[in-house]
Amino acid sequence: MDRILIRDLSARCTLGVTDDERREKQDVVVNLALSADLAPAARADRLDGALDYRAVKKRVLSVVERSDFHLLEALAEAIAEACLESPQVSEVAVTVDKPGALRFARSVAVELVRRRR
């Protein structure tokens, strides 16, 4: 299956378990691999029928920026659901990084893969 990759999408959201974490918005970095059949758009070289990855990005940013999750896992799940709203996306791999979440580590990340049912 073909894939469109959206890399290093940065956003801020309420995320975390402790009061300190929830007091201010946290930085997150989202990476997406959207699986879809890109052949028709590639052959036609036209937007008609192409996966609108700008719309996916906007939907994901909206989910992240309005979120109020405790766990990275829950945020990643919500992002995956938003990506699968695009009918062309058959599968999505979502990675959400929370920079600085652990001392001595650059980042902590959750990665999951979800498929259209």
Which tokens go with 107?
A: 């980042």
Please tell me the total number of residues recorded for the chain in this structure: 117
The rounded mean pLDDT for the chain is 95
pLDDT digits (tens, 9 = 90+) for 21-58: 899 999 999 999 999 999 999 999 998 889 999 999 99
- Give the 3-state secondary structure of residue 51: coil
List the catalytic residue out of 25, 57, 58, 98.
Answer: 98
- pLDDT (average), residues 12-22: 92
Mean pLDDT calculated for residue range 75-88: 97
Is the pLDDT at 110 greater than 90? The verdict is yes
Active site annotation includes 98: yes
State the distance between the two ends of the chain, measured CA to CA, in whole angstroms: 16
Q: What does pTM read for this prediction?
A: 0.95
Closest CA to 90 of 61, 54, 51, 60: 51
Q: Mean pLDDT, to the nearest integer, of 75-94?
A: 97
- Quickly name the fold that domain 2-115 has: GTP Cyclohydrolase I, domain 2 (3.30.1130)
